[in-house]
Amino acid sequence: MDFRAALLDQTQAFGELIRSADPSTPVPTCPDWTLKQLFRHVGRGTRWAAQIIAERRTEPVAPSDVRNGKPPDDPDAAIEWLNGGPQQVIMAIDQVGSDARVWTAAGIRPAGWWIRRLLHEVGVHRADAALSLGADYAMPPDIAADAISEWIELMMLQSQRLKPALDRGRTLHLHATDADLGPTGEWTISNDEHGLTWTHDHGKGDVALRGPVRDLLLALVRRGQVSELDIEVFGDEAVWDAWLQRTPF
């Protein structure tokens, strides 16, 4: 997958979705936010990451210190500002090298780590915008599947600091029904003698969710209830509920 191209495409799609929308529209999946705040969050977030990379930071940049972190009032200029953020990220990585060590939400990592994180960040926020506007939300299955994998990886890191997302001895399985995903469309998360781990292996699980990869992603990141999505749930739903309660981000 070309993560760079996908980041540019998803950012552009996010901007076009809300270009003509009322900026005061509430965003129910991001409580107390409007589309204007969501737009600023996405645009400033990429510039924030670009600054961390360009300056080889080992600590995060304060949001108030992000250069040009506020979109212009003119709608066309604001879209240009939005799309310029990912370009800055890519240029910063090319300048310092993708292996340069910088601060990330997962600790000190190679600068190239940011491309994948930002791709899935804007992809989920595009879902927020679509849900706010009652618009259709589609995601290429391979990108949605990778977003699930990346989210699980982040939750593994978070569980090292907080209560494990699964109780000891429990297993959660996700199964995407999309054609052609192959093994990348299955995820088995377990908490066993080795701690919290995950694989792309097929498995039954104490609880299993089965449905389109887009819907699995929306459920995993709390953008929809399984009862409202095209998802079948098998087994102990309390295990799924516990996962959701313990994986805020």
pLDDT digits (tens, 9 = 90+) for 130-181: 999 999 999 999 999 999 999 999 988 877 667 788 999 999 999 999 998 9
Q: Output the pTM of the full model.
A: 0.94
CATH fold of 3-133 reads Four Helix Bundle (Hemerythrin (Met), subunit A) (1.20.120)
- CATH for 141-246 (2.40.160.20, 3.30.1050.10, 3.40.50.2300, 3.50.50.60): 3.30.1050.10
For the chain, where do the domains classified as CATH 3.30.1050.10 start and end?
A: 141-246
Query: What are the residue ranges of CATH 1.20.120.450 in the chain?
Result: 3-133
H or E segment to which residue 101 belongs? strand 101-104
Measured between alpha carbons, how far is 107 from 237 in angstroms, rounded to an integer?
32
Write the pLDDT tens digit of every residue in 193-241. Answer: 888 899 999 888 999 999 999 999 999 999 999 999 999 999 999 999 9
Distances (CA, A) of 181 to 9, 63, 90: 21, 38, 28
